[in-house]
Amino acid sequence: MRKALGLAAFAAVLACGGANAQQVNVKIGVLSDMSSLYADIGGPGSVAAAKLAIADFTKDHPNVKVEMISGDHQNKPDIGSQIANQWYDVDKVDMIIDVPNSGVALAVSQIANQKNKIFIVSGAAASTLTGEKCNANTVHWTYDTWMLANGTGKAMVKTGGDTWFFLTADYAFGHALETDTAAVVEKNGGKVLGKVRHPLNTNDFSSFLLQAQSSKAKVIGLANAGGDTINSIKQAAEFGIVKGGQSLAGLLVFASDVAALGLPTAQGLVLTETWYWDANDANRAWTKRWHEAGAAAGKFPTMIHAGVYAGITHYLKARLAMGPGEHDGKSVVAKMKSIPTDDPLFGKGEVRADGRVIHPAYLFEVKKPSESKYPGDFYKTRATIPANEAFRPLNEGKCPLVSG
Amino acid sequence: MIEIFGIPSQALFGQLLIGLINGSFYALLSLGLAVIFGMLNIINFSHGAQYMMGAFAAYLILQYSGLGYWPALIIAPIIVGITGIVVERVFLQWLYKLDHLYGLLLTFGLALIFEGVARNYFGSAGLPYTVPESLQGGRNLGFMFLPNYRAWVIVASLAICIGTWFIIERTRLGAYLRAATENPTLVRAFGINVPRMITLTYGFGVALAAFAGVMAAPIYNVSPQMGSELIIVVFAVVVIGGMGSILGAIITGFGLGVVEGLTKVFFPEASNTVIFVIMAIVLLVRPAGLFGRRA
């Protein structure tokens, strides 16, 4: 009796254990800030976007099997590195995506390079990721500090804001954004009058805003993001900065920040993004599905979430093209660079040799409360910057992959 | 214009005033903490979460009843104070006989729960709340532009701090309270309901935190993590002032606000660590804190 049972069990195992020879297996890790100041621009929304991307792709290609896990790097490079190491080494993750927070992203980029795995950045901004610190395992989607500086910075200088004072978050992202924007300002005939660096996650900006006020610069550039930007703008309104004649340049502002500020405070703010949920019917339809995939009701997806969706879609396309079996990170990324990108959210673009993904950027202005007709109706489009102008030229980045 | 250490004196006075204003915030928050620790010997780690709950209560009161800032200043602390009383009756009262650490662990866990629930329902980017119309705008003092709201913050904080200190140190009620924490059995023998006093004191401390939260809502981002960012600094303030001393917490709050303000001028990158450097130095020299009673 026992022998028969054992044989039956063995047969059952054989029957369901046989893998399809054409099957492509990948494991993706969504590493984001799940609980702190960047949790609304990335966070659980990125996980929802990832679920959508995987569902859409595997529906059309059932022989691709995708496993997804997620983790919280808490904006700390040491925690992010520890998770990345564990995922790549122990949990057999092939590709990590998202990572808002440039400090963490730079660390994970090095780890992906060392272990020859793949890292697609959607959340972080530092342009050094495709500049001096570029490598053959990292792809930078969605946006970067150069694009922000070129979009918002150039627009403000051209409309008369030719003297600047920077409020900079004192870590990799803030420094990169400040450097890139200062370069744009000076290239277009402006002058940087001064700067002050504040710690990440600062509550009170009154002291820094006072310094900005006394500099008499025409534009106060906010080289920070998330809660820091919200606090800066809120307190700038309190101190009568805009009424006193200076303008605020929110160099990195997301729709979720505008929601947190409220339109009365945020109106008139000029910002650059590469994706807006209400721009067209395709984006609106995607936003509805994003809510159904588990994102919080009442929140709106940001360009980072869209970048996670598009990045995973392109990665899976490349993996499918390479066929089943193991493929190392560098060869998959090379494949991603050889296929042009095309997805419903960003349209057509390409992954450049330095890992930078090119797509159009848009200059938005925050609507007045009277102009907003429904929740989430935040932006009006001021200009479209075509893909080949929106990002830093390939030869200016000092990326070793390009010049070498 | 006279220059002090390379900064024009006008700019410096402006920064000092800003430092005082921030200090009044620290004083208000650390007051609640000092009351709870000084009177009850509980290390209330959920103070930051209760501050956050005060700000959220103000937002919700506005959303659901249309009542603005001024009613919220009174209603929100009462609501959050009541939740504090519930917490004390259900959880904390069993921990008084035990080591301090248990109270710390419990309140820390509660803080994580409150924050997580808030983040689950409201997200982490924050909620909009504007300065009330009667306090908008400001006046130009010559050396800086002072928003009316910030002037109100200093006035209100000073009033509450002095009022609380007066009640605890100079009135009979305060005397009962101080006696009850030193020798509860003897005070009970006089017919005073000690457990009720303790419960109400905890509720009062929590209400102070919520009051600070409502004051913060118009100027700081109302987000679930607003309390956790501030609570560590507030603990440092209370430790430096002396864990049992109310006056110590108030004076240290204002003093450290000024020190932080000056650091923001001369070395801004260090502005969120300078308080801890001072705490380390004070603890080395005077372990009980500057005004502490216990040696």
Three-state SS string over A258-319 comes to: HHHHCHHHHCCCEEEECCCCCCCHHHHHHHHHHHHCCCCCCCCCCHHHHHHHHHHHHHHHHH
CA atoms within 13 A on the CB side of A96: 37
Query: Is A251 in the B-facing interface, judged by CB distances under 8 Å?
Result: no
Average pLDDT over residues B285-290: 87
The Cα-based distances of A248 to A156, A190, A279, A381 in angstroms read: 10, 16, 24, 18
Nearby residues of A118 by Cβ (< 8 Å), 6 or more positions away: A94, A95, A96, A112, A137, A139, A315, A329, A332, A333
CB contact under 8 A, A36 and B124: yes
**pLDDT, position A304:** 94
Tokens 């848009």 belong to which residue? A362
For A255, the closest chain B residue by CA position comes to: B125
pLDDT in tens, chain A (404 residues): 677 666 665 655 554 444 455 788 899 999 999 888 788 888 999 999 999 999 999 999 988 999 999 999 998 999 999 999 999 999 999 999 999 989 999 999 999 999 999 999 999 988 899 999 999 999 999 999 999 999 999 888 888 888 999 999 998 889 999 999 999 999 999 999 999 999 988 888 988 998 898 899 999 999 998 888 999 998 998 888 888 888 888 899 998 889 888 888 888 888 999 999 999 999 999 999 999 988 877 788 999 999 999 999 999 999 999 888 888 899 999 999 999 998 889 888 899 999 999 999 999 989 989 999 998 899 999 889 888 888 999 888 889 888 64
Mean pLDDT of chain B: 88
> Helix or strand or coil: residue A97?
strand
Query: Which of B264, B266, B267 is the best residue to mutate to test the A interface, defined by the most A CB atoms within 10 Å of its own CB?
Result: B264
**pLDDT per residue over B153-203, tens digit each?**
999 999 999 999 899 889 988 888 888 877 888 888 988 888 888 898 899
For A11, other C-beta atoms within 10 Å of its C-beta total 9
Q: What residue type is assigned to position A337 of the chain?
A: K
* CA–CA min distance B261, chain A (Å): 7
> Helix or strand or coil: residue A297?
coil
- Domains of chain A plus CATH, in order, are 25-143+279-359 (3.40.50.2300), 146-273+361-390 (3.40.50.2300)
Q: Is 1.10.860 the CATH classification of the domain at B15-285?
A: no
**pLDDT per residue over B235-275, tens digit each?**
999 999 987 788 888 999 999 999 998 888 888 888 888 99
Q: Residues of B with CB below 8 A from A264's CB?
A: 128, 130
* CA–CA min distance B125, chain A (Å): 6
Query: Is A36 in the B-facing interface, judged by CB distances under 8 Å?
Result: yes
A109 close to A121: Cβ distance less than 8 angstroms: yes
Whether the per-residue pLDDT at B145 is higher than 70: the answer is: yes
Spatial distance between the Cα atoms of A341 and A360, rounded to a whole number of angstroms: 12
**pLDDT, position A11:** 58
Spatial distance between the Cα atoms of B274 and B99, rounded to a whole number of angstroms: 31
The partner residue sitting opposite B264, judged by closest CB among A208, A213, A234, is A208
Spatial distance between the Cα atoms of B293 and B295, rounded to a whole number of angstroms: 6
Q: Residues of B with CB below 8 A from A207's CB?
A: 15, 18-19, 261, 264-265, 268, 271
